[in-house]
Structure 1
Amino acid sequence: MTPTPALTIGIDFGTTNTVVAVTRSDGDVEVLRFSAPDGDLTAFRSTLGFQLLEERGRPPERIVEAGPWAIDAYVEDPLETRFIQSFKTFAASSAFTETVIDNRRYGFEDLLSAFLLRLRHHGGAAMGALPAQVIVGRPVTFAGGSDERLALERYETAFSRLGFTDIRYAYEPVGAAFFFARQLRSAATVLVADFGGGTSDFSIVRFEPGPDGLRSTALARSGVGVAGDAFDYRIIDRLVSPELGKGSEYRSFEKVLPIPQRYFAAFARWDQLALLRASRDMKDIRDIARNALEPEKLARLIEVLDDNHGYALYQSISRLKMDLSDAAAATFEFAAGSIHIQAEVARSDFEEWISPELAAIEKAVDEAIERSGLQAGEVDRIFLTGGTSFVPAVRHIFHRRFDPARIETGGEFESIASGLALIGLEADLDLWTQRRGPAGL
């Protein structure tokens, strides 16, 4: 049986995961599933792996993979696989021009193109004949850089290479709002809070019943370039970096100097950590290690970078965050190679560590409410989505401002892509989406 042709494809290209949804001619929305090695999934990890394969009698070949296949390649052969994660944080950064892999230069648009090609490949027949119209989610505020025009230029180049001719962009929380609106049976003003890996975005939309269904009016939006990745860094900075040499010293020409902090700032994002491994700083780190007052700590740092233990580290961080969402205390454990770091962590301590990010999120929520011209009590429904919405301290931000009975969660991984695809059914797409070019962004 031939599948019903897709009208619109919605792509939620996230810092951590990417989700794809399509609307059909009957108005239904379908989230695409990928047949991954460990089972079917809808949240396709936003990762790239460049694995070097060597076979006798043949020249070495670098194989490009994405998602769980890239992770498997890295786990199978970490020393011969260049693993890239969270590369969305490059998008709006003019400081990032390219990275070099096997003497080939990759700009952001090249990385995104490579990722999208593998995404399409693993999507199989469901993505074999993509429609001309695609609606791509974009954050309200890009993480890792402030040049949103540059980010969207890079997006445009990458998606055009896949053959798309009608490329539109919609704010990610607006996509989530459309997903949530499907359950509304009466007029409602909805605040959507979307917590991704790199950004926290907020949108307030008024939905009203009309002859053709719910009419939608955007009232306000705001965002901030901090979310789950920033929480990860706070944990690393407190628990891991001191065991890798942060705060220690080394000797240089009869002087005792502190270990440079920039080496540990790279742990703020996975992409920076991957770049540090391939940078000139590695020579300096090795030189410092030979003269360090606590050389065993620098040896651990070098092992983390040389042996590509970053993925295992971030898995340990994710487990701790999940455990602290359910319990008042949890055990952090990071074991990789010869490294073993363990510590007991109280939820109250974690909340203190992330207090600057919580304050920034609170400010952005208040900005959205203020820009809408409404009082908090005039917001009928609050929809929280994204993995970081599980963090109790994040939920408390909303419980302090709104009646808890009005707060709902769901579709943590699928809501944005589904909503983006549903936007494609709107009569006036220009109200909800933007194009690049003279008439657009």
Structure 2
Amino acid sequence: MTACGLDFGTSNTTLGFVGGNGPRLAPLEDGADTLPSAIFFPRTGAPLVGRAAMAAYVGGEQGRLMRALKSVLGTALIDETTPVGRQRLGFKAVIAEFLATVKARGAEAAGCALDKVVLGRPVHFVDGDAAGDARAERVLGEIARDIGFADLSFQFEPIAASLDYERQVSGEELALIADIGGGTSDFSIVRIARGHQDRADRASDILANEGVRVGGTDFDRQLSLAMVMPLLGHGTPLKRRGLSMPVGLYQDLATWSAINRLYDGKTARTIRELEREAAQPDLVGRLARAVEDERGHALALDVEAAKIRVAEAGATRLDLAVLEAGLSVGIDHGDLVRHTGLLAERIAARIGACLKAAGLQAEAIDALFLTGGSTRLAHVRAAICACAPQARVIEGDTFGSVGTGLAIEAQRRYG
């Protein structure tokens, strides 16, 4: 039996353990140590996870795709069911199915059973709701036990990232760890020193933790609502004066965890009724087809990919053939900043709160350690770096630092 660290992320998941050559991440899919947090239930056969799940869906196979599952923890959705073929599955069961696959693949890589785990968790699963936050942790723990982990504990994700960074330092320093993930943004101020790694109690080295429920999927949603959903009638009027298309339909279609709500038949009929009442029925017709053909996830994947291309190249053309042949929209860095700038500001504001909680000025921070996929967004990165302008900026493993740190913590706690 061995211990592992499990980073169940909104967008990607990793599992790490300590072997003869130190901490390592398990290959979870085709040699890759990151597994997209997605699961696809085909009409027949076993569920698919990760890239295989998304490929099956995009390829047109009939079934149900679910992604961003972590975002339902701490919300009322966790107690609800969703249609999967001819049955309905609870979200707990869906998450358990996904994580059981991760555990099995991790055990295969480790060469032994995994029965102990340190689970990563955001500083806040839910903003401003201590009861909801505690409930989210409890539910995740229950799921972990259900899939066979006999011993489990939790560690804040930015603290885990700091353990990965600590392997690189030679002296002592104060580090601000910024973990900007798919669903949350988390910060910790930690006293880092190589000689501290084996201490049983690191409480005195953790000066402050802060977090906010804003992450990469929120950037996807805002970009979709601003640049794509107007092409489906978002914001357009109905023929009856003073009425417009219901906003909630577009919010659900732009939100990973809510897309499946639209696939209930009744919603499709409602949209067709709205199409007849719409001042621009051709646009609403695109919305109707997206829902009837269950292409919401494909649209969300296209928006996410466009965001990444803008981050890398400054501009892109988003092909919306999934909605209508020849339809597309141009998106550049200015669009991304204009429509998601407030999210970057919300993220950066938590750094100020973290510094205040630690009783420190920005100048006291020696190193700013960045991890998480959304640190690749230039305006997010700039907003974070502006909060500690004198600190050295250290690039962590974008998707692997937390999992590696959790593996280190699992070894320390469970041996």
The two structures share one fold, judged by TM-score above 0.5: yes
Letter of the aligned partner of 2:164 in structure 1?
A: F
Residues 8-39 of structure 1: per-residue CA shift (max 9 Å, x gap): 20111000110010113x47111101343xxx
User: Superposition pairs for residues 31-50 of structure 1, below 5 Å?
Assistant: 31-36=25-30, 40-50=31-41
Which residue of the partner structure matches residue 163 of structure 2?
Answer: 178
Which residue of the partner structure matches residue 9 of structure 1?
Answer: 4
The structural deviation recorded for 1:268 is: 4.0
Letter of the aligned partner of 1:51 in structure 2?
A: P
User: Superposition pairs for residues 144-293 of structure 1, below 5 Å?
Assistant: 146=129, 147-210=132-195, 216=202, 217-251=205-239, 257-278=243-264, 280-293=266-279
Higher strand share: 1
Whether contact under 8 Å (1:93, 1:144) holds in the other structure is no
Q: Could you say what secondary structure the match of 1:354 adopts?
A: helix
CA–CA separation in structure 1 for the residues paired with 2:113 and 2:271 = 47
User: Superposition pairs for residues 1-400 of structure 1, below 5 Å?
Assistant: 6=2, 8-24=3-19, 26=20, 28-36=22-30, 40-53=31-44, 62-78=45-61, 80-98=62-80, 99-123=82-106, 125-126=108-109, 129-142=112-125, 146=129, 147-210=132-195, 216=202, 217-251=205-239, 257-278=243-264, 280-336=266-322, 338-400=324-386
Letter of the aligned partner of 2:222 in structure 1?
A: R
The structural deviation recorded for 1:124 is: 6.3
Structure 1's unaligned 5+ residue stretches are 54-61, 430-441
Q: Which moved more, 1:399-408 or 1:372-381?
A: 399-408
Instruction: Say how many residue pairs are matched.
Output: 409
The structural deviation recorded for 1:109 is: 1.7
Letter of the aligned partner of 1:86 in structure 2?
A: A
TM norm structure 2: 0.91
The structural deviation recorded for 1:421 is: 1.0
Letter of the aligned partner of 1:400 in structure 2?
A: A
Provide closer, same or farther for how the CA distance between residues 330 and 397 of structure 1 changes in structure 2, counting only shifts above 3 A. same
CA–CA separation in structure 2 for the residues paired with 1:212 and 1:407 = 22
CA–CA separation in structure 2 for the residues paired with 1:15 and 1:200 = 11
Q: Which moved more, 1:223-232 or 1:141-150?
A: 141-150
Provide closer, same or farther for how the CA distance between residues 412 and 279 of structure 1 changes in structure 2, counting only shifts above 3 A. farther
Letter of the aligned partner of 2:5 in structure 1?
A: G
Provide closer, same or farther for how the CA distance between residues 186 and 75 of structure 1 changes in structure 2, counting only shifts above 3 A. same
The structural deviation recorded for 1:196 is: 0.7
RMSD after superposition: 2.5
CA–CA separation in structure 2 for the residues paired with 1:236 and 1:340 = 18
Residues 235-292 of structure 1: per-residue CA shift (max 9 Å, x gap): 111111111111223346xx66311111111134212112222264332112112332
Whether contact under 8 Å (2:345, 2:383) holds in the other structure is no
Q: Could you say what secondary structure the match of 2:329 adopts?
A: strand
CA–CA separation in structure 2 for the residues paired with 1:230 and 1:405 = 28
Provide closer, same or farther for how the CA distance between residues 341 and 225 of structure 1 changes in structure 2, counting only shifts above 3 A. farther
Q: Could you say what secondary structure the match of 1:170 adopts?
A: strand
Which residue of the partner structure matches residue 58 of structure 1?
Answer: none
Whether contact under 8 Å (1:382, 1:407) holds in the other structure is yes
Question: Percent of aligned positions with the same letter in both sequences?
Answer: 27
Whether contact under 8 Å (1:22, 1:29) holds in the other structure is yes
Residues 281-320 of structure 1: per-residue CA shift (max 9 Å, x gap): 3321121123322121111112222223233323322333
The structural deviation recorded for 1:345 is: 2.8
Whether contact under 8 Å (2:176, 2:187) holds in the other structure is yes
